[in-house]
Amino acid sequence: MRASLNWLKEYVDIDLTPVELADVLTMAGLEVESVIKIEEDLSHVVVGKVLSIKSHPNADKLSLCQVSIGDGTFPVVCGARNMKVGDKVPLALEGALLPNSMKIRKAGIRGEPSEGMMCSEEELGIGEDASGIMILEDDLVLGMDIVSALNLEDHVFDLNITPNRPDCLSIAGLAREVAAVTGKALKIPSIEVREEDGRVHDLTSVDVRDPELCPRYSARLISDVAIGPAPFWIRRRLESVGVRPICNVVDVTNYVLMAFGQPLHAFDFDLLSEKRIVVKRAKDGDTFATLDGLERTLQGDALMICDGEKPVAIGGIMGGLNSEVSVTTSNVLIESAYFDPSNIRKTSKKLGLQTEASYRFERGVDPEGVINALNITTRMIADLCDGKVAQGIIDQYPSPFLPKEIPLSIRRTNKILGTSLEKERVGRYLKAIELDNKNLDRDKLIVRVPPLRVDLNREIDLIEEVARLNGYDNIPTTTPLARVTSGRRSSAWVAEDKVKDVLISLGYYEVVNYSFISPKLITSLGVDVNHPFHKFIRIKNPLSEEQSIMRTTLIPGLLRTMKTNVYNKNSDLKLFEIGTVFFPNEEDKLPIEKRMLSALVTGLRYVEAWNFSGDEIDYYDIKGSLENLFRALDIRGCNFSCAGDIPYLHPGKSSTIMIGDTQIGFVGEVHSEVLENHDLSKTAHIFEIDFDLLVKHAFSEKKINLLSKYPPIYRDMALIVKEDVQSIDIYDAIIGCNNSLVKEILVFDVYEGEPIASGEKSLAYRIKYQSFKRTLTDQEVNKAHKKLVSKVLEDMGARIR
Amino acid sequence: MKEELEKLFGEALGNLKVAGEESQVTQVRTEFLGRKGKITALLRGLANVSPEQRPIVGRLANEIKLSLEEKIRESLASIQARKRKERLLHEKLDITLPGRRVPTGRKHPISEVCNEVIEIFLGLGFQISEGPEIESDYYNFEALNIPKDHPARDMHDTFYISDEILLRTHTSPVQIRLMEKQEPPIQIIAPGKVFRCDSDVSHTPMFHQVEGLMVGDNITFGDLKGILTIFLHEMFGAKTKVRFRPSFFPFTEPSAEVDIACVMCQGNGCRVCSSSGWMEILGAGMVDPEVFRIVGYNPNEVVGFAFGLGIERIAMLKYGISDIRLFFENDMRFLGQF
Ligand SMILES: [Zn+2]
């Protein structure tokens, strides 16, 4: 909300600077987001008075005027005709530079001297009216500079009023707070309405059919109003708080809305059928044209203001075109009402229509302030539009709101705040914000809260007011008594830290991608509609299609990150992410959330340099990272088996990752088609692992083996096997020999090509033999090794190279 | 014979002095001490010396032999040392060439800051608690005293999955889930992702929060100030000015917004802090009795406080980042700087 300092000063004395006032408001819970200084550079423009007007001898359309500024009179040649002798006008004298860049100089116009210029609002840059010279209020002092004469200098506060404080959504409401915290008196003027002939009850009637949704409806009637622009000061004020001026009657209702927080509406009385008001619910599907020119479809719970036959406004939200005040209007009915907040909010949400009125009604206006606002509005319209006010007020208010009486325990106040405030002091604080209170017993006060304060309903609400008025800064800063707790992190957190540390030490960068992605990215993986990745959850109101589904895999995000970086000429990447993926669940249940660990590597293993060769990363790099990871997490029994049918991976260069019988993820080269779908030309390798399963198998207990005191003996064996034999098969065959002396098996060479025949390959193993009991002799190791080799040859159909 | 011995000794020392190579030194040994060496030869004539003189000459001969051996060893050692020195001087590396550094990665700045926050609170006796990222309307709003059709819902631009299921807009639902299944005392923090449909330089539709909750029977607003002041001093330095000002959250009362003196201008006022000298850093308050009632606690017996802070916000202040979207673009030129 915006508030003008000049306007505020009308209701409360302020001797603080704008910055100090902003600080006071902020520390009282009314956060000032910014203070904007409004200034007009209009030096050499002063208040003048037209002494005479003669026609210009050489030009029909111009006139010669004498304009006085009190201690001097200037001849002015002028093209406008709206001023008359005796009018006060803004006079720009020599040296003035107007906002439209016009420089004022003494000059001759068609042979007549002209020493200044009378200006329109538009020429002064302070309003839109360009139709003629601006005519000033008669009581302004001649010669006064225009900026102070029109009070053009101001400060506007941009406030962030929290939803609990609708009472502060007005200048007077803010003034009340300023008065409370600065100790100054509030100066809300009392208003008297001059009523003339005709009784309102004879001329019209109001029938509230739904008092639950409309607990109070009041109205007055003003006849013979002259519609035109509102006076400059009203328009200026409205503009300062961001409201566009329309015409005098509407501007007054908006002025009172901004000043006192009560939304009002003016109907063209002659457009109301049967000259009466009926307040009732809409019929489902009714349509209605609102003031903004849109045709709106209503639902049955919208509250409508109707005349004898049709709706004329959506109650508390917006008026209708069919009863709008216009230049032809001469009689107006002014509505001031209180509507049920939650119903206003519902209707406003359904219509997607939020107005200054609905914003206040849905938060709650002061039901007891309805009549005062109506009277101020009426009086201002009568004064400014020459209207005649009918006698009496219509006020449908069957069950008045009563002040709430809330007990407040001082002991509890101090217990919650950690203070030691005395009862008298608490009572004083509350009185400062117009909350009457008296002693209930030794400990308690009974506090009377006017309906205006919709946020104060319980003891705790009053405790907050006490804290606020005492100042949060004045509440002692303490620390709670310590309790001894076990502060260990859960194993998931420890595992996450460890995983990150391992991957980072292996050169991986952590990335964080959005949890929502485009459904196209799932399709880009080449998976069919039955694949689990396709069972995604849609967001009902996404920001864009690009972010419209919850991710079912982290891979698309990593591919996107790869693309971003390749585009920026970073093509050697090692990335990982730990994040949640989402899958649908049974109806009425929350979706299934799984935490995944995924990684992507692409480009060179190491950037080529004097000390590194520039080799491309391959499958064994990413597999090695995983092996390191499992080692760090003490995960045993992990193996990689052929994947073959994972659509987004290379069929020959991919595997599933198993721990025992449980599949925990996959690893492999990204399928070239997927890369093409992402406009990527370089190959990449990825893995994705179910992080929760990983954690489940992590940190298995360790038993440390004794160290052998006896030396090991190594023996090599180079085999020639069919090319589709996997190294794991030979490994298994060696283990299958059940020789307890075999302590380590190392593949030290893999070779295909000359002189090995095509269709075959050579694998070479180094086997470590060692005993815990004695030093092995060459002889016995030779014997054991020979036996082992012949068994492996037999099992694998291999031969010695 | 004595004189002859001394003369040979002198001659041998002279030879050693000019010996520059190991071979020349060993040559001295052979020449004087070898089986056919000059000293050895001379000593063969020891038998001819008078019996009274014999022990004296014998001792002298021994001394000379030992001394010469010693000199030979010294000479060898010094020649070897000189040669090693010469060799090492030739083995000089260009030590300014870059090392064989296996490049390491980095944590994402959000993880980094999040961990820092967590560490501070773990140190204060808090434990970590977590909850789902997709939540029900009940846990995200209603149980936190934000009924449907309440204007406070305007404070959260919510992504919906269905009428009742949504992407959590804050980590506060974790409070409710925990209190539902655990009796006080409670002292937890809940880090995690949250979502709001908003996107510009200072908003991303996803960001990270850490929620805190402390519930017991003797916890005060003063304690809330104390804990958060300790946290902010740990995070931003012990001299950081902190202020608490009234605000509104439906699930806390009294509620507070916590500011620190602007890190850009040290509180003098600049563009970043809209001239106020302060920067909003977190929201907090005493848990509203209504929330206690909803989770089945007795609001007359338990008190507590809750707070919530944005990780990106802290990271932006710490590292001087002005565009929040950078965190989620994962551009290596950005990530590589941390
Ligand atoms: Zn600043």
Q: What is the ipTM of this complex?
A: 0.86
User: How many angstroms does the Cα of residue B55 sit away from the middle of ligand 1?
Assistant: 100
Res A636: pLDDT:
85
Return d(Cα A685, Cα A675) in angstroms, integer. Answer: 11
Which segments within A236-323 are labelled E, that is strand?
264-268, 277-281, 287-289, 295-297, 303-306, 311-314, 318-319
Strands A662-670 and A649-659: antiparallel
Disruptive mutation site among B332, B333, B337, B338 for chain A (greatest number of A CBs within 10 Å): B332
Q: Which two tokens stand for residue A15?
A: 């001797």
Q: How far is the CA of A372 from the centre of ligand 1 (A)?
A: 43
> Looking at residue A626, what is its pLDDT?
96
CB distance B330–A561 less than 8 Å? yes
**How does residue B331 score in pLDDT terms, banded at 50, 70 and 90?**
very high
> CA–CA separation, A501 vs B107, rounded Å?
8
B103 close to A (CB below 8 A): yes
CA dihedral A105, A108, A109, A115 (to 10 degrees): 40
Domain ranges of chain B: 2-90, 109-335
Give the number of other Cβ atoms within 10 Å of residue A582's Cβ.
Answer: 24
What pLDDT is attached to residue A486? 63
- Is-contact A581 A690, C-beta < 8 A? no
**How far, in Å, CA of B264 to CA of A134, rounded?**
47
pLDDT of residue B271: 80
Beta carbons of B330 and A565 less than 8 Å apart: yes
How far, in Å, CA of A509 to CA of A573, rounded? 8
Tokens encoding B156: 């959260």
Residues B60-71: tens digit of each pLDDT: 888 888 999 999
Alpha-carbon gap: B58 to the closest alpha carbon of chain A (Å): 53
Residues 207-266 on A with a CB inside 8 Å of B are none
How confident is the model over B291-305, as pLDDT tens digits?
999 999 999 999 999
Query: What value, to the nearest 5°, has the Cα angle with vertex B188 and ends B296 and B125?
Result: 130
Residues of A in contact with B155 (CB under 8 A): 163
For chain A, helix (H) and strand (E) counts, in that order, are 22, 39
Q: Can you say how many angstroms the Cα of residue A287 is from the centroid of all Cα atoms in its chain?
A: 32
Asked if B116 contacts B176 with a C-beta cutoff of 8 angstroms, the reply is: no
Q: Please report the residues numbered 449 through 508 in chain A whose beta carbons come closer than 8 angstroms to any beta carbon of chain B.
A: 458, 460-461, 463-464, 467-468, 472-473, 475-483, 485-487, 489-490, 493, 497, 500, 503-508
Q: Kindly determine whether residue B289 and residue A541, on different chains, have CB atoms separated by under 8 Å.
A: no
Closest-CA distance of chain A to residue B113, Å: 13
Q: For residue B257, what pLDDT is reported?
A: 96
Rounded Cα distance between A228 and A635, Å, is: 84
Rounded Cα gap, residues A387 and A385, in angstroms: 5
pLDDT, tens digit, 9 for 90 and up, residues B131-183: 999 999 999 999 999 998 888 888 888 999 999 999 999 999 999 999 999 99
Please report, as a single letter, which amino acid is at residue B190. Answer: A
Tell me how far the alpha carbon of residue A287 lies from the centroid of ligand 1, in angstroms: 51
CB-based contact, B256 to chain A, within 8 Å: yes
Please give the single-letter amino acid code of residue A320: G
Residue A22 corresponds to which amino acid? A
Three-point CA angle B165, B167, B168, nearest 5°: 105
Residue A123: alpha-carbon gap to chain centroid: 40
Dist CA A173 CA A11 (whole Å):
10
Tell if the CB–CB gap between A550 and B134 is shorter than 8 Å.
yes
Q: At a CB cut-off of 8 Å and minimum separation 6, what does A145 contact?
A: A42, A43, A45, A46
Number of residues that make up chain B: 338
pLDDT on residue B156? 84
Q: Which CATH architecture has domain B109-335?
A: 2-Layer Sandwich (3.30)
Q: Which of residues 352-381 of A touch B (CB under 8 A)?
A: 362-363
A570-580: burial string, b at 16+ Cβ within 10 Å, e else: bbbbbbbbbbb
Please, what is the average pLDDT of chain B?
91
Using a CB–CB cutoff of 8 Å, tell me whether B137 touches chain A.
Answer: no
Q: Which secondary structure element, helix H or strand E, spans residue A708, and what is its range? A: none
* Closest CA relative to residue A593, chosen from B209, B168, B131, B169: B131
DSSP A136: B
Q: How far is CA B113 from CA A478, A743, B209, B315, B317, in A?
A: 26, 46, 11, 6, 11
From B250, which residue of chain A is nearest by alpha-carbon distance? A164
Count of positions (residues) in chain A: 801
pLDDT of the residue at A711: 94
* Rg (alpha carbons) of chain A, rounded to whole number: 42
* Average pLDDT per block of 10 residues along chain A, 801 residues long: 95 94 94 90 92 88 92 91 92 91 88 91 88 91 92 93 95 95 89 91 96 97 95 93 94 97 97 96 93 92 94 96 94 97 93 95 95 96 94 96 96 96 96 93 96 95 96 92 68 88 96 96 93 95 95 96 95 96 91 97 91 91 95 89 87 93 95 94 95 89 86 94 90 90 93 90 94 92 93 89 83
Assess whether pLDDT exceeds 80 at residue B1. Answer: no
The phi, psi pair for A671, rounded to 5°, reads -60, 135
Tokens coding A401 = 């709101």
Partners of A542 on chain B (C-beta within 8 Å) are 159, 197
Cα of A37 vs centre of ligand 1, distance in Å, is 19
Copy the structure tokens of residue A585: 């669940």
Contact between B225 and A472 using a beta-carbon 8 Å cutoff: yes
In this prediction, residue A247 carries a pLDDT of 94
* Lookup: tokens for A467: 């804290």
Q: Which helix (H) or strand (E) holds B256?
A: strand B252-261
Contact at CB, B106 and A509, closer than 8 angstroms: yes
The confidence score (pLDDT) of residue A487 equals 59
Q: Following DSSP, what letter does each residue of A534-586 receive, concatenated?
A: G-PPBPSS-SSGGG-EE-S-SHHHHHHHHHHHHHTT---EEEEEEEEEEE--S
- Quick one: pLDDT at residue B202? 82
Containing B167, the helix (H) or strand (E) segment is strand B165-167
Show which of residues 563-582 on chain A sit within 8 Å of chain B, judged by CB atoms.
Answer: 564-565, 568, 570, 573-576, 580, 582
Residue in chain A closest to B110 (alpha carbons) equals A512
From chain A, the residues in CB contact with B338 under 8 A are: none
Nearest to B288 by CA among A113, A79, A457: A457
SS (H, E, C) A285-306: CCEEEECCCCEEECCCCCEEEE
A564: nearest CB among B167, B230, B330: B330
Closest to B195 measured CA to CA, from A543, A714, A295, A599: A543
For residue A386, give how far its alpha carbon lies from the nearest alpha carbon of chain B (Å). 40
| Strand partners for A578 | A597
Which residue from A34, A419, A489 is facing B128, i.e. has the nearest CB?
Answer: A489
How many Cα atoms occupy the beta-carbon half-sphere of A551 within 13 Å? 25
